[in-house]
Amino acid sequence: MGFLKRHPTLILGLVITLVFLWFGLFRVGFLYTLDLKLYDVMMGLRSEAESPSEIVMVDIDDDSIEKFGRWPWPRSLIAAGIDKISAGKPRVIGLNFVFSEPEESSGLQELRGLEQIIRSASVESPDAPFDPILQAVMASQQRLDSDGKLADSLRASGNVVLPVVFKEGTMVVSEEPPVDAIADQAIRNVSNPEGFRVPVGTEVIMPIPAFMQTTRGVGHINLAYDMDGTARRERLLYQYRGLYIPSYTLRLAATFLNLKPLQLRAKLGFGVTLGSIEIPTTFYSEQLVSFKGPRGSFKQYAYFDVINDKVPVSVFRNKIVLVTTSASGFGNPLSTPVDPTMPLGEWTANALWAILNQRFVEQPLWSATAELALILVMGLVIIFLLPRLKALFSGIAFVALFLILIGGSTYMFVSNGLWVQITYPLIQLILGYIGVVSLRFFVTETRKEKVEEESAETNRMLGLSFQSQGMLDMAFDKFRKVPVDNEMKGILYTLALDFERNGSSTRRRPYMNTSRR
């Protein structure tokens, strides 16, 4: 207890430092959330909403839904949009819809049934004139076959990328080889020397075979969310039956750059390489997305306007065209660092923009060590520096260190894309400063009270001495400096009696110090 009383700031600094070292090693949920919020603020400073972009969006908005009718639209209408866009000669088209089932058409089914009947009848009666009827039925099927029309449009365009979706679960996946369609989309050159892992899919939802056979490529659109529900990271790879399938944005970027399969490489936990572009990743092979800006940062054209030739096709030349939707009711918008209600299509555009412009955010390998080192430095400051400075200089030192932490971290993030977490040392500094100031206040108050008590006792004893010697005026001067309690009331009463007995009078009105009780 004696050591604690003699060195309170030392104990305080040690306790705070050890607590935050433990936080830094094991991470605490609510403090990590504060780290993410600071990340969002810095990301807002890093965004470049006005910068040029090779990405153009064709948006199925509420107005297009109102004019063309409710979703799902006939796929022939989607095919018409692909044809219009392809006429502008874009380098790649991203059609962000998973057409995993054939389009249901009762009329088409009836015509197919009628075709079978006619073919059977023609076999039984080869001399009957069934050919014109059969040709008319087949022509009607072709006109009603929206899937066929979309497949034809995909084939004619030759540069459309489609998405797939992976499901995760605990089911045991059979050792059967994956379907050829998805196997052809895998990144072959993947190294994993450190045993890092990526998300594993147990089931894949793919476009129907007619679309898989005519698309330029596919990529997954599975999203990753942080603990606060905000999307900040793009999962670049998904493992499926021993294969590594790239993300939708990664496939779009590779197609836009016209890269060959061998030019895509990955080192799990470190990075993904697209030709000459090195994409740094987290330990889980995720890209920290650097945002161009909030929704509306990319050029957008309404789908209705594109179909009705209100948009010149020249705007699509050599561009990446993303066909997506922002209409109400199409999934939930994403909460992102720069916009709380960002449509999925704009998320894709931002992730793709970051790759093509090499605007990467990286959490360097030394960031964890740097954070622990900062915690130790802040501990030394709290223990040895702040208690030895006067109040004014202590406050100046606190503000300076606070600004250095915030300013240094923000500069590295905004200018160099390096995310070094400072929330723990920052909160440690704040709590340490408050603790040192509080201890200093309590120690000062305690000492002041002790000095005042000693002074009051000295004045009381002097007053009694003067009173016993008959020097009543001097005794009164000493008593008036002593706080009044029950004992002092008795002493003052006896002093008043002495004044009365001696016939003394004073022009001074009796004064009683009631500042302390």
Higher pLDDT among residues 496 and 61, named by residue? 61
Q: Which of 81-95, 111-125, 209-223, 502-516 has the lowest mean pLDDT?
A: 502-516
pLDDT greater than 50 at residue 22: yes
Closest CA to 352 of 104, 126, 143, 96: 96
Write down the mean pLDDT value for the chain: 83
The helix, strand and coil proportions of the chain, stated in percent and rounded to the nearest 5, come to 50, 15, 35
Q: Measure CA 161 to chain center.
A: 27
Kindly report each contact of residues 284-287 with a partner whose C-beta sits within 8 Å and lies 24 or more positions away, as own/partner.
284/196, 284/197, 284/198, 284/199, 284/235, 285/196, 285/198, 285/235, 285/236, 285/237, 286/224, 286/233, 286/234, 286/235, 286/236, 287/233, 287/234, 287/236, 287/351, 287/354, 287/355, 287/360
What pLDDT shows up at residue 486? 78
User: Looking at residue 381, what DSSP letter applies?
Assistant: I
pTM value surpassing 0.85: no
| Domain edges within the chain | 2-45+365-443, 53-105+145-356
pLDDT, mean of residues 182-193: 89
Q: Which conformational region is residue 317 in: left (phi greater than 0), alpha (psi within -120 to 50 degrees), or beta?
A: beta
Tens digits of residue pLDDT in 428-478: 999 999 988 877 766 554 555 555 565 667 777 777 777 777 787 787 777
Tens digits of residue pLDDT in 292-310: 999 999 999 999 999 999 9
Do 169 and 203 form a contact (C-beta atoms < 8 A)?
A: yes
pLDDT band at 32 (very low <50, low <70, confident <90, very high): confident
pLDDT band at 515 (very low <50, low <70, confident <90, very high): very low
Tens digits of residue pLDDT in 348-389: 999 999 999 999 999 998 998 999 999 999 999 998 888 888
pLDDT, mean of residues 181-194: 87
Provide the Cα torsion 427, 429, 430, 433; round to 10°: 160
Tens digits of residue pLDDT in 45-66: 999 988 889 999 999 999 999 9
pLDDT greater than 70 at residue 115: no
User: How do beta strands 271-274 and 264-267 pair?
Assistant: antiparallel
